[in-house]
Every structure is written in structure tokens, then in C-alpha cells.
Chains A and B, each alone.
Chain A
């Protein structure tokens, strides 16, 4: 294993982690602040990818499509909140699970009907389409570095908003003692709606920036949703900082694991055995991590203060 390879794996892990963070951020706030389990959050990621595909086709410009997609993702999020989710806040968790599951089924199928079942792709925007020479034979695409940058910028922005603005303060307060915030005369419905809309937009943004890198296909958000749940559990429900650290951790472990576990196993057992067990074990790593954390630190690694 060369140093270059390790470096590239770390960059990929970081990139994956930041993508996870964009999804997990909304999820952890919606869950932490409103106690609402929104399975349909992952589908917002798919919506973002399809939106940017459609708008790029219409406008011919990735950047214009990016802006339009974000607006559209926000609108779709607010619409879903208005039409369905607000009726479910006071309902048991399992009702929320069932209703949002229904929405996943509907939107996945709708994407298939509108855009066809095949894998779609869009080109990386012209401005970021180059690549940087890393070794003699190998180049690393600029676009990937740009997504890492964008993810970090959003993370910092979110952190500042939560820590230093009035809305952020209310969100923090709302996630720990919602009754108190409500009793103080804050319009909690309004607050919920803002959190929800922003969360949906962030997941949509993740879909937009992932679109030129990965395949756009129906159901692309489903597995990512589960991993995002793993992230918020590891990080501690309702905690943005926790979600960030956990997302990076999960991103790195998963990416490094997929490349290294088989190789490390190869040192212990013979190669064909390692090839059989390695990939399965690598896929399990994040679940093993989560189970271990839940057994020893049931509230996650960096829980939001005061979460009961």
C-alpha cells in the first residue's frame, strides 16, 4: 500500500463523509428538534440529483441548474411538510415511519416513470472538469476536491448559524426542551418549518453535487438514508457537531475499510478466503462500530446537551 493510495482513500473518505453530513444534518435536527422520524429524508437526496439533471438539460448550465435545484428542493420539502408531515408530529414514531415510507415508495416510482429506469449521468461542470496530477501516472479530479470544499463550507456555515444566531439558539433550545421554548411564546410551528425546509434543501444539495460523480437512479437515496441514521446515532441525536464528526468517521472507516480489510485479512488467512470474507466484513464495519457504541455509550459519542 503506497502513501499515494492512502492519501486518495482519505480524500475519498472525507468526500463521502461530507456527503453523509449534508444528509445527516437535516435528519438529526428534524429528529432532535421535532422528535420526528423522517424516512423520506433520503429521497430528498435523489430528488436533488434528478432536479439538477432536469435543469441542466433545460438550461444547459450546471450553475444555473444548481441554484434552481436548491430552490425547488426547498419548495418540495416545504410542500411535503405542509401536506403530510405537520399532521404527524404528535403521532407515534411508527406512524411517522409508515407514512414517510409511503412517500419513499411514491417518489422512487415517480422518478422511474418520469425519467426512466436507466442510470443517468451529467457531465462535471466545465469550470471544475480538470484534474490535478498526483503521481506520474495518476490524476485526481478537481471536481472531487470542490465537493469536499463545498461540504466544509456548508458545515462551517451551519455551525455558525446554530451557535451564534437567534434561530440557531431556538433550535438548540428546541432540541433539548421544546415545551419550554413553546411556553416562552416562540412560534414553534414556524421553527419546525424552517428546520424542515433547510434540512430538505441540504439533502437536495448533497444530491446535486453527487450527481456528476455517481449514477443518478431511482432509489439512490435509500441506502444512504440508513447510513445517515447510523451517523446521527453515532454522533448523538440532535447534535450538529456530533453529526459532523460521526459523518467523517463513518466516511473514512467505510472507504478505508473497503480497500484495506481484504488486504489485512490476506495476511492472516489465505487469499481466496480473504476475498470471500473481506468485502462482507468491510460492509459490516460501520454497523459493528454503531453496535459497539450503543452498547457502551448508548447516547452516542457527542450527544447534544440535555437530550434525555
Chain B
């Protein structure tokens, strides 16, 4: 990998010089998943971040940025090693990561304990939102339970009475089920947990068909979602029940799901067709550069870069004063492409959430589309436990 090679060379040079060069500019490490099936998610984050960086001429807050991208391979021990080498070898100022909550858990402690700022462009576990919130940790995406909570509200608004709930059996899956059940007022007919990486949903579909539910709510990210949507369609259930999901039908999976997903409901903090100037500019620039429609992952990374830009500019290009930089980050004085955006006291976002649906664009590409705003300035429910 090129960025790595560059740092390796830099390390060798600084070794030869016998000293570590005084940091001029800004060093940002990115830890995301770039191998295995979820690689597309990590790639969106890298692309989104780099687009923002490029638009600002390779500088954030007036400082030239050296970006070091590391792949966590979706293995906790690898993530940890990559994170510690970013802190100790490369001495980065900021770490941006990760895609998955369990990777975040693995890298969290060494980063924040070294008093390096950690900004998550996607993973937003409850673990660090409440009692274990941290002054060096920010989240620019959402708190993991929120999308599912909003889905529960959408289900109420749509008038669903009986909903079949299904999620993979791991922490994020359980969080989503809990989130949905918290806000949904109707009756949950079944809660089904499938193994992570589940490929064959025919048994679950059979249960759905006999459950008398009006709708199904699910959280099946990545390849699982591609399979589920296809098999749901093949089983002919599309006519008899509504399909409602989070992270299941998004811009990373829609190229595989295509027409089968059109009309499905989703909930989220953003859609590519949301009408504001910043967003229109972002989506068209992104498509022009990378040739695909950005998803939430790319959007959040783009916002993250702009957030860093605003904070570095506010402190006059210096990260020496950590308290000042923290305050500048917390102010969130940047134009988010999703509209209103601010940080709660636990450094998780306060933002609007919307009902979304899947549409096919005139050029034959698929994306999530804004329907209506369901809840405004929505904060997570763990912030009250945070003493910060």
C-alpha cells in the first residue's frame, strides 16, 4: 500500500537522522476495514474523507495533511496493532475509525489513553456513550441504537400493528432489536436471531409467512442483506408484507439487490437526494470522482473531514492545546451535508432522523431516498450517564 510505504520510508529516514522531525502539518491515521466482504464500507469512508481533503487542496484547517490508511482486517488483534503503531510509530494527531463497533472496542483504550483524538465516522456503540464516555472520543455518525429506534417510530406512523423482527446474533444485532422494541408501540410477533454471516434465510422466511405480521423489521448489513432481500423477493413475500430495515438496503448493498429492494422502507440520518446545497454539491462531486452513489459511510467520513477542518482552523492550525481543540471539535462549526448537526455532551451527534425508501434513478442506479423527517434533534438515551 502506498501510504504505508511512505510512512515506512519516513520512519527509516527519521531513524537515520536520529531524531523525529518536529511535526509540521497534520498527521491523520485512518483505521477501517478494507479486506473481506465488508471492504466496500471501509472504502466508502476512505473515499469520502479523501474527497473532502482534495476539495480543500490537501489541507485541513490550513495544515497540510498526511493521511495514513490502515486496514483492520476485521480482526481485533490486527486493529490493535495498527492503532498502536499509528500512535507510537507515526505519532498521528488524530485517528479516524472504525467501521465496526467491535474494532472500535479493540483500539479505543490505547488511543484515548495516549491523549490522541479518536473520531468514529461510523461505529457508535453504547459502550462509550454513557458511563465510559471520553474527552478524546467523538462520533460523527449516530449512536448504534438510534436508527432502529427511529424505525420503530416509522412503523408507528405507517400504522403497522404486528411486526416480525430479525437480526444477526451479535452485539449490534441485539442493540438494533432493543432499539426497535423501545419505540414501536404495536405487537412484535417474533424475534429471530440468525448466525452472523447467515446465507440461507428460507427457514426464517417460512416463519415470516406464517406469522401474520404486517411488516418485517431487520438489520442485515452487507452480504447478508443482499441475500435476504433476494430471497424475500423470491419467496413472494413482497406482496403480503412490508420490508423495513436499517443498514440492509443502502448504497453498498443496492448494486446487488437492484429492483428487488425498490419500495422498501428504511430509516437514517441522511439520503443522497436530501435537498440542501452542500449535499447536492457533495453527491455530484463524489459520483464524478468515484463513479458510484455515496452511502452514509462516505457522507459521515466527508463530514468528519470537514469537522476536523473547522476545528483545526479555529485553533489556528495547532493541536498543542488539547482542551482548545476539543472545544473546537465540540462546537461542530461546519456545514454538515445532512443539515443541522451538533454534539451532545457525550460527543455523540444530535441530529434529525428521517424515513427513507429505496428508489431507482432514471439512469438505472439505485439509492435511498428522503421521504419525511420523523424526529428532529434526536439525541441518544445514554448521554445522561456521561459525566463529562
Contacts and interface: CB of A to CB of B under 8 A. Distances in A.
A144 B256 CA distance: 20
Interface stretch (B24-32, B91-99, B232-240, B373-381): B232-240
A112 interface: yes
A138 B34 contact: no
A8 B206 contact: yes
Contacts of B39: 116-118
B280 interface: no
B210 A135 contact: yes
Interface in A100-137: 112, 116-119, 121, 131, 135, 137
B210 A5 contact: yes
Q: Most A CB atoms within 10 A — which of B203, B206, B236? A: B206
B37 interface: yes
A85 B206 CA distance: 45
Contacts of A38: none
Interface string B184-215: 00000001011100011011011101100000
A131 to B, nearest CB: 6
B202 A218 contact: no
Interface in A1-33: 2, 4-5, 8-9, 12, 16
A189 to B, nearest CB: 39
A8 B203 contact: yes
Contacts of A118: 37, 39-40
B295 to A, nearest CB: 14
A96 interface: no
Nearest to B224: A215
A131 B236 contact: yes
Contact of A12 (B40, B174, B202, B227): B202
A121 B37 CA distance: 12
Contacts of A271: 191
B203 A9 contact: yes
A255 B203 contact: yes
B107 interface: no
B42 to A, nearest CB: 10
B223 interface: yes
Best-buried of A2, A217, A255, A279 by chain B (most CB within 10 Å) = A279
Given A119-B37, A119-B256, A215-B223, 19 more contacts: A8-B206, A117-B37, A121-B226, A121-B256, A135-B210, A137-B210, A137-B236, A137-B240, A141-B234, A144-B202, A213-B200, A214-B199, A214-B227, A218-B36, A258-B203, A275-B169, A275-B174, A279-B193, A279-B195
Interface of B: 34-37, 39-40, 169, 174, 191, 193-195, 199-200, 202-203, 205-207, 209-210, 222-223, 226-227, 234-237, 240, 256
The 3 lowest CB-CB distance pairs between A and B, nearest first, are A119-B223, A117-B39, A137-B209
